Amino acid sequence: MPVFKASNAFRLQKLMAQKVVWEGKISYLSKVVGLDLAFVGREGVGIAALLNYPELKLIKYAVAVDEVPIPYVPGLLAFREAPLMFAAYEALNEDADLIMVDGHGVTHPRGLGIASHIGLVLDKPSIGAAKKPLYGSEEAVEGVNYVVVGGRRAAVIMEGSKGKRIYLSIGHKVGIDEIVRLAPTFFRGHSLPEPTYVADRISKEVRRKVAEGVGR
């Protein structure tokens, strides 16, 4: 396996960021996929959960488990975690109308968080759902809280259960106005939007089984 070089990854990110589409509406939405990843030592557990819309009930899910050889480097999360998310998504054998990823989209120092990375590679509309801010400044307009990057509204800040903030950012081919329109429909009384909440719940269950299987 080739040696991972962070400098090469940084350059690739900058090139990929130029191809990310910050605008777009979803004219038809019936299938949403939530992507999440958990770790058991050096092994990653990638989850792709397919939900119907607008009910947001789980239809099915797929799991991809493998060793993750790439180290954690701040700002390069996608290179470490996206491969198993891709594998889980492909294992679903479904064509999602929207992908929601546990992580950031364009609210990233080089404009390419994991949600943008995945959306761009799969050429699918994508949204990032992050629990903490990463990059950009906050701005409130007519009662809506945004994250602004380079003078552009890049994410909307929502509140899940217990007042926890969730940052829903542009990933790829979904504009901020579309995220504002759709965002309230994704929450079902949990601290996370339902697609990533379900994927996160499944990842914890599978992670426990994997850990038991390897004797941890």
Which contacts of 8-11 are long-range, i.e. CB under 8 A and separated by 24 or more positions?
9/73, 9/76, 9/79, 10/75, 10/76, 10/110
The pLDDT assigned to 2 comes to 60
Percentages of the chain per state (helix, strand, coil), in multiples of 5:
35, 30, 35
Query: What is each CA distance from 176 to 10, 14, 17, 149, in whole angstroms?
Result: 26, 21, 17, 12
Which contacts of 140-147 are long-range, i.e. CB under 8 A and separated by 24 or more positions?
144/180, 146/176, 147/107
- Find the helix or strand (DSSP H, E) in which 88 lies: helix 77-92
The pLDDT assigned to 215 comes to 43
The pLDDT assigned to 212 comes to 83
User: How far does the chain reach from its first CA to its final CA, in angstroms?
Assistant: 27
- Asked if 52 and 35 count as a contact pair (C-beta separation under 8 A), the reply is no
pTM over 0.85: yes
Round to whole Å and give the CA distance between 208 and 137. Answer: 37
Q: Which two tokens stand for residue 136?
A: 């950009």
Give the chain's largest Cα–Cα span: 53
Low-confidence ranges of the chain (pLDDT < 70): 1-3, 214-216
Per DSSP (E only), the strands in 18-143 are 31-40, 43-52, 58-67, 98-102, 126-130, 137-141
Helix and strand counts by DSSP (H, E) for the chain: 5, 9
The pLDDT assigned to 216 comes to 45
What is the percentage of the chain residues whose pLDDT exceeds 70? 97
The pLDDT assigned to 214 comes to 56
Domains, the chain, ranges and CATH?
6-213 (3.30.2170.10)
